[in-house]
Structure formats: structure tokens, C-alpha cells
Amino acid sequence: MRHERSTLPTPTSTNSFWHSEPNEFLLGHRTTAELPAEADIVIVGSGITGSAVARFLTEDGRAKGKSIVLLEAREACWGATGRNGGHCQPLLFDRSASVAAFELKNVETVKSYIETHNVACDWRSVSGCRLFGTEGLMEEAEREIAQLHKIAPEIARQVTVVKDKDTLREQRVDSSNCVGVTITSGAGSLWPYKLVTFVLEKLVKEGKINLQTLTPVTQITSEDSKHTLHTARGSISTKTVILATNGYTSALLPQFADLIVPVRGEMSALFPPKNSTLLPNSYGMVGVLSQPANNDDYLIQRPFKNVPNPAGHLMFGGGRGAGVLPSVGVSDDSSIDEGSAAYLRSALLKVLKLGGETEGLKELEAAAQWTGIMGYSRDNHPWVGKVPDHEGLWLAGGYTGHGMPNGTLCGKAVVDLVLADQAGEDVLALQGKMVNDGNIPQSYIISKERIEKARSWPTVEVQEREGLHIKVV
């Protein structure tokens, strides 16, 4: 079966709320007026993964003296990270225990960087509250949590199941549309664009990277262990390319067209009801209001004070089951889906106890509505490592809408592998050690065997249409 490649990022895109306070230093930024003809390492993509790759490269002594160029098709952090839900919430029982531990470590790494550098990005440590809309979905979650208690009790202790109405009310959950919730520790919410642009601006001003925005890579050609990245501004050659392109990966790597599939998601920034108060958690909603069980809705709330524009915006995304436009295989974020947008404006009034003045209110006013392109993985895990049969070509992406609790340490993992490879070390042995040390789940590592196995699963399109949930341990 032939799978369509992603397009390149669209030149124009819907207006994300996260871009309403742009980093002026980075707008249109090109560290050098001309695109360098060559570099030691070229990174493609400037979101949470690309910025992490750049950061960890420059922090590692093995990369000292190496020239690092970061190419971005649009403005810095204008793709998925600049369009997501602002979540940094680990999923503790949906996948394997090793994935849960890795995501917890990733969130802690993000939090530590923000605190160490005092990054003004609305960081708030919260619990993750996931709502389940049917008895069957709640029972499935409880079975997974029971299994987690057997194999990883220290992680399972961070999960609480709540079904009684009084406690649901304390979590601001409307029990008429929800049979129960799980509460998990170790989550955070943030303004993701501000974090990423802080990292990039710091690296540029310190002279550690050459950032070239508004420079889409149209093609990568390879010859004699060198890769040439072609752009409208000229070409740049390198022995090492790291793709942090997520949903757009197959535009440059056609053989991944069926493994990382672009999926358009809907987001909104909604004004809360007048005189309401801050919600205590970040929220995920599974099978609520008759939405498909494999398409979660997700919510965080911005602060009401001590930040710029302190309006308590409800940053709410999802609603794909209410959409009227195709989303799977779509890499165009220049339009919104009015079906999904209308659902997002109304759903929270039915699912949560928002408080304040809600009587007679049918929907919330949107401060902004926009779309973004996720990269759905065929086997439901990110792809991290060397691309088979492509010496010097590396990849970290395919987060299936769950990049914030993964991208930072996936970026670090690929850096560790790249630098070991450049030093002539045994990369396979290092991968084994990284898995044993909890620095990357085995299920994330790219291999020919994994690719072959993933292709035995239904396609992403079939999984979405039939509501399948692939669980690889």
C-alpha cells in the first residue's frame, strides 16, 4: 500500500495563542545572512525536540568546536510545540512501565531547567486528572493500573482512582458525564513556545548555534557519507543530520510515510466564566461526551495572576470526533475545523465544574482557535535513533500527540548516540546501556526489526477509523 508523504509546513498557518507574545529576537532570525555551505551537524526543526538536541549538543564536551546549524521552515517554534495544549503530563499506565518512568524523568528534566534558568513560561506543577466517559473505559484503566502495581509498584503508587461523587466534585468534575477519573502525580503545565524560544535565544546569543529560520528544507540527497540539505536559499552539506520534524518527517524521509503520519489537531484558548477560580489539575478526557476513546481531549488552565495577560485562559484541545474535515494524513495547519472548534467551545461546561457565572451559558468565548500537526506513530511509540541504511542520518519524532513529556530526553538520547557514533563507539552496545539505565525505552529505538514489526500492525488511518489502540511493551 502506498502512503502519501507529508507536505512541507505551510507558509501561513492559523494563529496560535502561544504566538501572541512572540520572541522578537527570534522573529525572522538568521544568525548569518547567508546559509552556511557546510556544518558538522545540521538539525532540522526548532520545537521541543530540536531545541533539546541543540542544547544537549552544546552542553556535551564531545561536541566542542563542532559547527551546529539549526534549520526551521517557518519562525522558530512555529510547528507542533508552538501549537500544542501546554501539557507536560506523563501517562503512567497506558504504555509500559519503562515508558512511564522515562516520561516522569522527562517532566522532571523540563521542570529542573525552567527552575534553574528562571524561565518565564507559566510553569505550574499540577496533578494529571483523566476522565473516563464509560464504565468499560474505566474498567480498562483499572486493569492496567492493577498490572502496574505488580510490575512497577513505585510508579503505581503515583496513580489514584476516584469514582465517588464527592471526591469527583473536589476535582471539579461533573459526574453526570464521567464515571470516574485517575489522578497522577508528576505533571506540569506551561507556555511551551516561551520555553523553547528561551533555549534557542540563549544558545544563539552565546554563539553556540547558527539558527536559520524561514528556511524550509525541500530535499535531502546523500553521496559518499555526506548529506546535502536543499533549500530555496541554497544548500548546506554535512555528515550528520538530525531530524526533529515530527509530523513532517516523511516530507524529507519518504520511507517513513507509513510510520509517522501527520494528523491535524484542534486547539483553543477559551475565556473562563466570570468569577471562576483556577482548576487544580491538568485534564485529559477519554470517551467523554461520546468522543472516540482513542482521541483524548486535553485541558490546562493559565494563571489568573503573576504572569503577562493573566486571564486564566482554558487551553483546551481535541474534539476530533466532532470534526467535519479530514485530520489523518493532513499536514496543513492553515485552517480550523469548525466542528471540532464548536465542540471545544461548549464541552467544558458539560464536563467540569468551572465555577463562576455559568447559568444560561452555552459556550465559552474563544480568545484564539487554531490547528497544529501531530506526528502519529504506527506502533504508538516515538522513533529515536539512526535511520537504517542512512549513515549519519538520525531521527527523533513521532510522538502521537504526546511530545512534551518525551521530546526533551528523546533529544538527549539521540545526541548521546550521535556523539558516540562520531567517536567510533559501539552504538548498539550504548543503546543497550541507555535502555538499562532508563535513558530511553527499548520500544522507542529505531531498528529494521521494529520497522518490519510496525508494518504488521494496521495503518494509522485504520487504527483511527476503527478505534484501535496499539500497545507495544
pLDDT over 70 percentage in the chain = 99
Q: What is the pLDDT of residue 144?
A: 96
CATH number of 124-190+262-376: 3.30.9.10
pLDDT per position as a tens digit, 401-456:
999 999 999 999 999 999 999 999 999 999 999 999 999 999 999 999 999 999 99
Going by pLDDT thresholds of 50, 70 and 90, the confidence category of residue 68 is very high
Q: Which of 330, 291, 310 is nearest to 467 (CA)?
A: 291
Quick check: 295 pLDDT over 90? no
Mean predicted confidence (pLDDT) in 270-284: 96
Going by pLDDT thresholds of 50, 70 and 90, the confidence category of residue 471 is low
Q: What is the pLDDT of residue 294?
A: 82
pLDDT per position as a tens digit, 72-114:
999 999 999 999 999 999 999 988 999 999 999 999 999 999 9
CATH 3.30.9.10 domain span(s) along the chain: 124-190+262-376
Q: What is the pLDDT of residue 468?
A: 79
pLDDT over 90 percentage in the chain = 95
pLDDT per position as a tens digit, 358-406:
999 999 999 999 999 999 999 999 999 999 999 999 999 999 999 999 9
Q: What is the pLDDT of residue 470?
A: 64
Q: What is the pLDDT of residue 472?
A: 55
pLDDT per position as a tens digit, 302-320:
999 999 999 999 999 999 9
Going by pLDDT thresholds of 50, 70 and 90, the confidence category of residue 2 is low
Residue 17 φ/ψ, nearest 5 degrees:
-55, -35
Mean predicted confidence (pLDDT) in 161-187: 94
Quick check: 235 pLDDT over 60? yes
Residue 449 φ/ψ, nearest 5 degrees:
-65, -40
Q: What fold characterizes domain 17-81+193-261+379-466?
A: FAD/NAD(P)-binding domain (3.50.50)
CATH 3.50.50.60 domain span(s) along the chain: 17-81+193-261+379-466
Q: What is the 3-state secondary structure (H, E, C) of the chain?
A: CCCCCCCCCCCCCCCCHHHCCCCCCCCCCECCCCCCCECCEEEECCCHHHHHHHHHHHHCHHHCCCCEEEECCCCCCCCHHHCCCCEECCCCCCCCHHHHHHHHHHHHHHHHHHHHHCCCCCCEEEEEEEEECCHHHHHHHHHHHHHHHHHCHHHHCCEEEECCHHHHHHCCECHHHCCEEEEEEEEEECCHHHHHHHHHHHHHHCCCCEEECCCCEEEEEEECCEEEEEECCEEEEECEEEECCHHHHHHHCHHHCCCEEEEEEEEEEECCCCCCCCCCEEEEEECHHHCCCCCCEEEEECCCCCCCCCCCCEEEECCHHHCCCCCECCCCCCCCCHHHHHHHHHHHHHHECCCCCCCCCCCCCEEEEEEEEEEEECCCCCEEEECCCCCCEEEEECCCCCCCCCHHHHHHHHHHHHHHHHCCCCHHHHHHHHHHCCCCCHHHECCHHHHHHHCCCCCHHHHHHHCCCCCCC
pLDDT per position as a tens digit, 126-164:
999 999 999 999 999 999 999 999 999 999 999 999 999
Quick check: 177 pLDDT over 80? yes
The CA distances from residue 384 to 380, 435, 447, in Å, are 13, 12, 9
